[in-house]
Structure 1
Amino acid sequence: MLAQRTNLFKSSGTAAAREAAKAAADAGTDTVDLTVGEIWSDLAPTIRNGAIEAIRRGLNRYTDTVGSMELRDALARKVSVETGQLWRADEIAVTSGAKQGLFNVAMTLINPGDQVIVPAPYWTTFPAQVRIAGGMPVHFDTRPNGYVPRVEDIERVITPLTRAIVINTPGNPSGAVYNAETLAGIARLSMERDLWIIFDECYGPFTHDGHRHHQIVSLSPDVRGRTVIVNSFSKSLALTGWRIGYLAAPKELISAVKALQSHTTSNPNVIAQHAVLHHLREGDGAFETRLKDRLAAARQTGLSVLSELQRVPMPGAQGGLYFYLDLSGILQPTLGNGRAKTADDVVAALLAQAGVAGVSGTAFGDPMGIRLSYGIPPEQLEAGLERVVRVLNTWN
């Protein structure tokens, strides 16, 4: 009845976890939702003012398919500052969130049968979009190296069919931040083996404890011609619902993205575009600093609570907004029916016994992990993590 391609994907595991949390809350359960991939925050004043100004001016018509020229110019200047290289508006595409940007990249770069390296654990949408484009995601486990891929591990899985590698730093779900040496090694490998790099840096503004986000194009300028930078304002400005993302890539790829987007969504929401443009012109960085400080404080609160875990190692949480717990130490036994326990069982127990919703690592290709967000209000975070510790310390 349905198209065969629908067999290549299913609903996002993170979305399913959010729905489970909502269902529990709707049923009257006292639920702390640690599934959310967003930051609890008010709007930046510049975003609010920019949106109001756009409405007052009656901005209700189409912009260019990949965003207004004014916004693309502003984003080109932003990326130029961040990478130390000059970018032009024709190398920028504005999209309805980073997720659409990644979909555009998959559909314009990947041929049927191409392989794309996606280190595990991975954000669930990466391999799904590769499959939709007709490609084959290739995974390997990064747990032994603190959730950061080793260059030799990447090289080991490269075949003549390999087309691209996905880099997500800071990582979702792991929170791992790739160091400069690793990124430079990946850049060298991509040049040697003729690979594209899909560089997702949506969590780039949030690094902690001396860790630093590095832009691969800054470290290795020669790789620019085979790199697609994917970013958004969903995390950096707490604008998940506004759906504004962008790509920075070679002009030819942006032209292909524009043609594709003209047949899918056309331009992103014009009010959101104008609000972001107003922020880029008038913002002084104060809102971003407050947001990062709030997230850093929540992280410290969470780590303090999680330090009471007895058989689960402390998460690194080097960047982003998630605690990613390695549950392998408590998942060795099997259930009475002989089925091995996985993170799915832990997530189910947390929701049933403690009213805490998390995301199972099976959604990220890792049946031994669980993702817990610390982007929620601090009082909820502390209460929720205390429940998590209580359940995991008595896990049998």
Structure 2
Amino acid sequence: MSQLLADRVKALTPSSTLAITAKAKELKAQGKDVIGLGAGEPDFNTPNHIIEAAYESMKAGETKYTPAAGLLSLKNAIINKFKEDQQINYDASEVFVGSGAKHVLYCLFQAVLNEEDEVIIPAPYWVSYPEQVKLAGGNPVYIEGTEDQSYKITPEQLEKVINSKTKAIIINSPSNPTGMIYSAEELEALAKVCLENNILIVSDEIYEKLIYGNAKHVSIASISDEIKEQTIVINGVSKSHSMTGWRIGYAGGNKEIIKAMTNLASHSTSNPTTTAQFGAIAAYTGTQEPVEEMRAAFEERLNKVFEALNAIPGFRCIKPQGAFYLFPNVKEAAEACGFSTVDEFVTDLLEKANVAVIPGSGFGVDDNIRLSYATDLTSFETALDRIAQYVIEHSKRS
């Protein structure tokens, strides 16, 4: 039956994240005590005032269709959030609300990409960026943000890959999987190249509320009106307010692009889930104390586990500035344990140490793994102990 499938679906790369997750579930079903560190969502429940607002909206009869791009009241809450947090001014025609930030990105690429258009994707990257570009008929072009550059790219690297087919660049800050953040100066330098070459900037800022230490999040769209006009900002309530399952994300940017995304949504989802929209309104208009409590908890976990991770033989990690992931280079550990690839190391780690981590190959970097500290501290520390013991026992140098 494969001849019935569209070529664009056949070209999709299977998710390494899902493969590891499926294997971990299989081992758990066999009674193994597997600790999973692959979570891409906070391990906190949605704050009560958001749940209550959604419930009250249902009781009030708010269970019907809404405008395709979202309720005006939610758009206004998002507009106020942009103004207060990033000092960016949008009006309602410049805001699109979709069924999660992933859906918003999908609509964006479908709206702006033609066949063979190129989208520059800095690596390490979130696993869905390349696949969404390919689904829209575009071609991903990768730039490696090396470890000595804190996994960020430079304007010089960007200039080298630009050609007549270049349509857009994706900037994810704070980054999944690295947790790195671009400074205002770094963003301004990249934006200058984009302006000179008329390249659309896609700024994924979904982790902007999860910042640690002295780091500061800056939206590239806030640098100047000229840059704002050439930028689509992607965000949502999934990570900041622990609302991953509610599926509310949004975009702010050029009204012509926003209108095209709205038209696409009107023929696909019709509208984001009505009840979830009322929850998102409460998320942005209600107390922000739960957001800070969750951020502080993640920072505490990071500070408690970071040194233990770096102490594992053959592990080398830059301390993240945001999000809730650690992204260590483990090539030395994998080789010491007799493996030619980190992917093989990850598979054996799951089978013999009962710890599930995500191989960096899924993020465009072969030598690393991603561990999520969006899990309870005891489980994370136990997992690190298991990894350390495994490496010591299996190392050819022991």
So what's the TM-score if we normalise by structure 2? Answer: 0.95
**Secondary structure of 1:118's match?**
strand
CA distance in structure 2 between the aligned counterparts of 1:56 and 1:326, rounded to whole angstroms: 51
Q: In the alignment, which residue of structure 1 is the partner of 2:222?
A: 218
| Aligned residue type for 2:268 | T
1:304 is aligned to 307
- Partner of residue 375, structure 2: 376
In the TM superposition, what are the counterparts of 1:1-396 in structure 2 within 5 Å? 1=3, 2-143=5-146, 144-281=148-285, 283-331=286-334, 341-393=340-392, 394-396=394-396
Q: Cα distance, 1:229 vs. partner?
A: 0.4
Give 2:70's aligned amino acid: G
Structure 2 alignment gaps of length 5 or more: none
- Which amino acid is the alignment partner of residue 356 of structure 1? V
How many correspondences in the alignment? 391
CA contact (8 A) 2:314 2:331 kept: no
| Separation of aligned partners in 1, 2:313 and 2:346 | 18
Native 8 Å contact 1:184 1:220 kept in 2: no
State the Cα distance separating 1:225 from its structure 2 match. 1.0
**Secondary structure of 2:123 counterpart:** coil
Query: Deviation digits for residues 116-167 of structure 1, max 9, x if unmatched?
Result: 1001111110010111111110112112311011111111111111111000
Contact map agreement 2:336 2:395 (CA 8 A) in 1: no
Distance in structure 2 (CA, Å) of the matches to 1:388 and 1:58 = 52
State the distance in 1 between where 2:332 and 2:212 align.
26
Task: Give the counterpart letter for 1:8 in structure 2.
Answer: A
Shift of 1:307: 3.4
Please list the CA deviations of residues 36-57 of structure 1 after superposition, one character each: whole Å capped at 9, or x if unmatched.
1011112212211111111211
Kindly state the Cα deviation for residue 332 of structure 1 after the two structures are TM-superposed. 5.0
Partner SS, residue 205 of structure 1:
coil
Moved more, 181-190 or 296-305: 296-305
Q: Encode CA deviations 1:357-385: one digit per residue, 9 max, x unaligned.
A: 01111111111110000001111111112
Q: Deviations over 1:320-368 (max 9, x none)?
A: 1000011233345796xxxx72221121121011100011111111111
Q: Could you say if the C-alpha distance between residues 31 and 243 of structure 1 is closer, same or farther in structure 2, counting changes exceeding 3 Å?
A: same
Asked if the contact 2:373–2:380 (Cα under 8 Å) also holds between the matched residues in 1, the reply is yes
Please give the alpha-carbon distance, in whole angstroms, between the structure 1 residues aligned to 2:219 and 2:391.
Answer: 37
Contact kept? 1:91, 1:251, Cα under 8 Å: yes
Q: 1:18, 1:36 within 8 Å by CA — same for their partners in 2?
A: no
CA distance in 2, matches of 1:35, 1:15: 9
2: CA distance between counterparts of 1:119 and 1:238?
27
After TM superposition, the structure 1 stretch with the greater mean CA deviation from structure 2, 226-235 or 21-30, is 21-30
Kept after mapping to 2: 8 A contact 1:170/1:177: yes
Partners of 1:189 and 1:70 lie apart in 2 by 36
CA contact (8 A) 1:334 1:341 kept: no
Q: Structure 1 residues 290, 215: CA separation in 2 closer, same or farther (over 3 Å shift)?
A: same
Q: Distance in 1 between matches of 2:60 and 2:219?
A: 37
Return closer, same or farther for 1:88/1:391 CA change in 2, 3 Å cut-off: same
Deviation at 1:217, TM superposition (A): 1.4
CA RMSD of aligned residues (A): 1.6
Once residues 282 and 174 of structure 2 are traced to their aligned partners in structure 1, the CA distance between those partners, rounded to angstroms, is 27
Deviations 1:81-126 (A, max 9, x none): 2221321111111111110011011101111111110011111100
Tell me, in whole angstroms, the C-alpha distance in 2 between the residues paired with 1:387 and 1:219: 45
Does the CA contact (< 8 Å) of 2:337 and 2:395 recur in 1?
A: no
In 2, Cα distance between equivalents of 1:198 and 1:246: 12
SS at match of 2:267: coil
Task: Provide the C-alpha distance between the structure 2 equivalents of 1:252 and 1:311, rounded to a whole number of angstroms.
Answer: 50
1 CA distance for matches of 2:367 and 2:211? 24
Query: Relative to 1, partners in 2 of residues 1:161 and 1:332: Cα closer, same or farther, differing over 3 Å?
Result: farther
Give deviations 1:283-332, integer Å, cap 9, x for gaps: 22111110101111111122132132232213322211000011233345
Query: Judging changes above 3 Å, is the alpha-carbon distance between structure 1 residues 353 and 154 closer, same or farther for their aligned structure 2 residues?
Result: same
